[in-house]
Amino acid sequence: MADLLHRKRRMTPFQFIILGFAGVILAGALLLMLPISSKNAMVTPFHEALFTSTSAVCVTGLVVQDTAAYWSVFGQGIILMLIQIGGLGVITVAASFALLSGRKITLLQRSTMQEAICAPKVGGIVRLTAFVIKATFLFEMLGFIAMMPTFIQDFGVKGIWMSFFHSVSAFCNAGFDIMGTEVDKYVSLTPYAANSTINITIMLLIVIGGIGFLTWEDIYTNKYHFKQYRMQSKVILTTTAFLIMLPAVFFFVDFAELPIKERILGSLFQSVTPRTAGFNTTDLTLMSGAGQAILIVLMLIGGSPGSTAGGMKTTTFAVLLSNVIASFRRKEDPQFFGRRIEAKTVKNAATILVMYVSLVFSGAMIISVTEGLPFDTCLFETASAVGTVGLTMGITPQLGVLSRYVLMSLMFLGRVGGLTLIYAALSGSHKNLSKLPQERITVG
């Protein structure tokens, strides 16, 4: 017992985060296995319940059973609870309960909270966490109110639940929907392709949830004074705008056969949702090969640090792009807004890129060989999983158990983050300060 307590004291914040996510996923799977969770009142197989729980906690949206057609209202409620916990982060939710109960937050807990929301310092972390919780429920309530008239008009009283479910799912960048029926499954938001209210509300919720908690604080504190924002917030906002507008122009050309209103809404929606929400208003299988490739890139990039989104993160993409520009201009360091980026950040960004690309390609190869499916289709699915997106070419429900476990692993790795896993695994190793002799090597 003493040894166990000693080990517990030595656990790092990164290890707490990983164990927290794993524990919630397992608990969610056990709840979803209950007969009350499914509409047919039967016990759901463990691997299906585990896949759904993993997808919900990792705010992905890939499913093996249509959420509306298979799960009961109780089951959908469990899924929504898992989405909320996964979107805010297990540590943030646990901290909110501690705050509500009036318990004192220890230094270790504060340090874990800092890592969970990517805060720059421990000081003020409790206040920041309280701000995150309040802002989250405010935005979700506004989304709920905005969509409720449309859904009530179409579904009656059931529309209240549908509004609430889709508001939370969109803000948490989860991509789960309850639009399907026994006859027409996995439809996502395609019935509302021409509805401006639903499209705009969902897009705003996705973007707000995906820009990060610290960016919210910057906007709340400094309002329209952009120059006073942290450099990271400036990078996130400009990169997010770039990654929405540029792909939207391509998708507008790609959706040439749609009516003009659906074409505009569809191009913007499909530019927003791959980072990393997973809703769709158009049939992705009808997109051009180039359009699907752009979706894969957007899914890998994902949202921003300390947000409800997954993926490599917009800041990783921005740092790598800035480093390329610096190399072309023969400058020593990449820079943003008159500030230099340290070499360690560039190394971390390169590591994350290699890690995500390796995971996507290796996962796609395993699924392609196992299932006998085209590699590009499998690549789309694994990119969606590791980016915690949820967009699909429709193959996930038909995959075998091994392929489903591959996707579950990718979703988990994508949500907790590559560097979190590395730091958790190497927490006990000592830093080596010695350096080997240097020698030049030619690249390129």
Cis peptide, bond prior to residue 370, ω within 30 of zero: no
The pLDDT-based confidence of 98 (bands split at 50, 70, 90) is low
Predicted confidence at residue 3, as pLDDT, reads: 47
Q: Which of 5-14, 62-71, 178-187, 321-330 has the lowest mean pLDDT?
A: 5-14
Residue 427 has pLDDT above 60, yes or no: no
The pLDDT-based confidence of 332 (bands split at 50, 70, 90) is confident
Q: 221: left (phi > 0), else alpha (psi -120 to 50), else beta? A: alpha
Alpha-carbon span 94 to 112, nearest angstrom = 11
Q: What are residue 339's DSSP bridge partners?
A: 336
pTM > 0.85: yes
Q: pLDDT tens digits, residue range 317-329?
A: 999 999 999 988 8
Token pair in block for residue 252:
């507008």
Average pLDDT over residues 299-309: 85
Cis peptide, bond prior to residue 67, ω within 30 of zero: no
Q: pLDDT tens digits, residue range 125-178?
A: 677 778 888 888 999 999 999 999 999 999 999 999 999 999 999 999 898 999
Do 418 and 352 contact (CB within 8 A), yes or no? yes
Measure the CA angle with vertex 193, ends 139 and 143; round to 5°.
10
Phi, psi angle pair for 256, to nearest 5°: -60, -25
Average pLDDT over residues 236-259: 92
Alpha-carbon span 441 to 443, nearest angstrom = 7
Alpha-carbon span 183 to 200, nearest angstrom = 28
Phi, psi angle pair for 428, to nearest 5°: -90, -10
Residue 425 has pLDDT above 80, yes or no: no
Predicted confidence at residue 7, as pLDDT, reads: 46
The pLDDT-based confidence of 2 (bands split at 50, 70, 90) is very low
Do 318 and 235 contact (CB within 8 A), yes or no? yes
Alpha-carbon span 290 to 254, nearest angstrom = 9
Predicted confidence at residue 80, as pLDDT, reads: 95
Predicted confidence at residue 6, as pLDDT, reads: 45
Predicted confidence at residue 275, as pLDDT, reads: 79
Alpha-carbon span 214 to 219, nearest angstrom = 9
Measure the CA angle with vertex 296, ends 313 and 346; round to 5°.
35
Phi, psi angle pair for 85, to nearest 5°: -65, -45
Q: pLDDT tens digits, residue range 352-372?
A: 899 899 999 999 999 999 999
Do 391 and 271 contact (CB within 8 A), yes or no? no
Q: What DSSP designation does 274 have?
A: T
